[in-house]
Amino acid sequence: MKLLKSLLMHLLAVVWLLIAGYPYLYMIATSLKSQENFFRNPTSLISTYTYSNYKLVVDLGIFRYFFNSLVISIISVVLIVLLASMVSYCLARIRFRLNRPLYFLFIAGMMIPVHTTLIPVYILTREIGLYDQLWALLGPYIAFSLPVSVIILTQFAREIPVELEEAAIMDGAGRTRQFASVVFPLLTPAVATVSIYNFIHIWNEFVFALVLITTRERMTLPLGLREFYGEFSVNVPGIMAALTLGTLPLLLAYFISQEKVVRGIAAGAVKG
Amino acid sequence: MTGDASRIRRQNRLSKGLFLCFFIGPALLVYAVYNIYPIFATFFYSLYEWTGIENTRTFVGFENYARLIRDNIFHRSLGNNILLVFASVLTQIPLGLALALLLQSRIKGMRLFRTVYFLPFLMSTVAIAILWMFIYNPTFGVLNRALADIGLASLQRSWLGEPSTAMWAVIATICWQFTPFYMILLRAGLAGIPEELLEAARIDGCTPWKSFTRITLPLLVPTLVTACVLSTIGSLKYFDLIYVMTEGGPDSATELMATYMYKQAFRQFSMGFASAVSTCMFILAFIVAATILSLDRYRARGGN
């Protein structure tokens, strides 16, 4: 009985290992094949290797998409962290009449299906003249990251002992000063979580980019991958090279700091 | 003297108000413009007949909703969304729980398992969609090749090309993508269960199965509820993967409310009708989330 159970467990473990891992192996192995090699033997994992697909994808400008994604992701995350921790400081520390209602307003945002806002955001973006610019994505990305970020940071800020700020008040520090030099530095662990969570989501975001950007030079990586797919059609190794390159940054981050990335993603499941 | 005190108090209150405006204002502004206003705007647009390009729009009242109720493709997409909700909740969460439990047990090579299990969630949805289109490809796809290799060539088909299999093929891919997320979520929930409780049960002679159903599962309910809410809302608004893989086809076999809404808005330029679809999505997600959460609150109160 015990043997059977352990056998069953190992079986499940190995089966899921294959299911989760095989598509990755397939993607990487295919990206290293030549086209004729691929069509002769499309499923083999080990064959002769060539880096020409990567060279082709780089020549066709995949780094432009990388650059765009990197710029919008970093700027969005920095602004989200700044805005959300300012709000969280007020919600956690200052008593005012709208404190609870504001907190609930932000929590409620977690229930909104993103696509409900798609049409008005598209119209609004065109009206304010940001349509088809990378910056058009900034507003939606910040707005949709705020609920999770505010909840995580507020809960964390409530745990910080008040004594430290009281000491700062004794030294004559105003509220802004208390926030900037006492509370914000202590928020660092939560800030790390929030940054990782939002970075992953914004790096992979698709639908707003699809609606708000049409010019190739301004596309983010997910849109760019789709362009490659449309153009390459039968050049499967080429597409796989693009996919591999596109996945590489998060993969590297994951291998460098597995625990942090996992914690960052689990943090998205907060409940008010 | 008292005048001074009240002046100082008033000044304090003023400076607190200014501080709050300065600290909360910017975030609230962005949130209001891109999150709150659009919900009302969507409903407002849904009462018009409008291309979204020209400035002229005609007020039609609830005509778009009436059209929605008669619309066969909308029925189809609503059905697919409901199918997706059940498929997601019933496969991703149990499978995620099984994997989370697996990661707790002592298996050789645990580090490898833990690392690989999570990989699917790191790939962007667009990349996953493109990758799986090649796995499902009828001529050189891995799936058909594998079926041939194990002697089941009769099962070979164009997985995404046939209406009878397309939705299931897409659902399988979605499960591949999201199961790791629920694994992580439930593993965090499992880590929150005090070791002493399970230890005490073991000493009292509880079988592992009994301690799972009597201790682990009840204590895991809050996490499971969160998982259900996330999975349900996620499935109701699902878009990316299906849009890239099938665009809702073949023959609207994989059409979802979100893909239908997108195509109506940005291909047919029927913004009013698309807004009505969008409003329906919002109301459905809201009702479902509110129902699950209030059921959970009811359960929590009954437990006390």
pLDDT for A28-83, tens place per residue?
Answer: 999 998 888 888 877 777 767 888 889 998 988 899 999 999 999 999 999 999 99
Q: Comparing B74 with B11, which gets the higher pLDDT?
A: B74
Long-range contacts of A55-61 (CB under 8 A, 24+ apart): A56/A238, A56/A241, A57/A228, A57/A238, A57/A241, A57/A242, A57/A245, A58/A245, A60/A228
- Mutation site, A80, A105, A112, A116, interface B, largest B CB count within 10 A: A116
| A162, A146: one domain | yes
CB contact under 8 A, A90 and B271: no
For residue B192, pLDDT over 70 is answered with: yes
| A126, A216: one domain | yes
Domain boundary among A51, A70, A92: A51
The pLDDT score that the predictor gives to residue B265 is 92
Q: Name which of A86, A106, A262 is nearest B23 (Cβ-Cβ).
A: A86
| A107, A214: one domain | yes
pTM confidence score: 0.90
The DSSP code sequence of chain A is -HHHHHHHHHHHHHHHHHHHHHHHHHHHHHHTS-HHHHHHSTT-SS-----HHHHHHHHTTHHHHHHHHHHHHHHHHHHHHHHHHHHHHHHHH---TTHHHHHHHHHHGGGS-GGGGHHHHHHHHHHTT-TTSGGGGHHHHHHHHHHHHHHHHHHHHHHS-THHHHHHHHTT--HHHHIIIIIHHHTHHHHHHHHHHHHHHHHH--HHHHHH--SGGG--HHHHHHHHHHHHTT-HHHHHHHHHHHHHHHHHHHHH-HHHHHHHHHGGG---
Q: Name which of A84, A113, A119 is nearest B236 (Cβ-Cβ).
A: A113
Min distance B60 CA to chain A CA atoms (Å): 18
B55 part of contact set with chain A, CB < 8 Å: no
Quick check: B260 and B277 in contact, CB under 8 A?
Answer: yes
Min distance A217 CA to chain B CA atoms (Å): 18
* Residues of the domain holding A37: 2-51
B239 part of contact set with chain A, CB < 8 Å: yes
A7 part of contact set with chain B, CB < 8 Å: no
Q: Comparing A140 with B108, which gets the higher pLDDT?
A: A140
CB contact under 8 A, B98 and A12: yes
* Chain B partners within 8 Å of A13 (Cβ): 102, 107, 113
Min distance B185 CA to chain A CA atoms (Å): 5
The pLDDT score that the predictor gives to residue B304 is 44
Number of domains in chain A: 2
Delimit the domains of chain B by residue range: 63-127+166-303
| A230, A163: one domain | yes
CATH of the domain at A188: 1.10.3720.10
* Chain A partners within 8 Å of B85 (Cβ): none
The pLDDT score that the predictor gives to residue B260 is 94
pLDDT tens-digit series, residues B216-264: 898 898 889 888 888 888 888 889 999 999 988 788 899 999 999 999 9
- Residue of chain B with shortest Cα separation from A138: B30
For residue B1, pLDDT over 60 is answered with: no
CB contact under 8 A, A113 and B127: no
Among A214-223, B140-149, B258-267, the least confident range = B140-149
| A10, A108: one domain | no
Among A181-190, A218-227, B77-86, the least confident range = A181-190
Superfamily holding B63-127+166-303: MetI-like (1.10.3720.10)
| A139, A46: one domain | no
CB pairs A-B closer than 8 Å: 238
pLDDT tens-digit series, residues A144-192: 999 989 989 998 998 888 888 888 888 888 888 888 888 899 999 899 9
What does the alpha-carbon distance between residue B284 and residue B256 come to, in Å, rounded to a whole number? 13
| A27, A101: one domain | no
| A73, A26: one domain | no
pLDDT tens-digit series, residues B91-142: 999 999 999 988 888 777 788 888 899 899 889 899 999 999 999 988 888 8
The pLDDT score that the predictor gives to residue A269 is 67
* Chain B partners within 8 Å of A225 (Cβ): 124, 126-127, 130
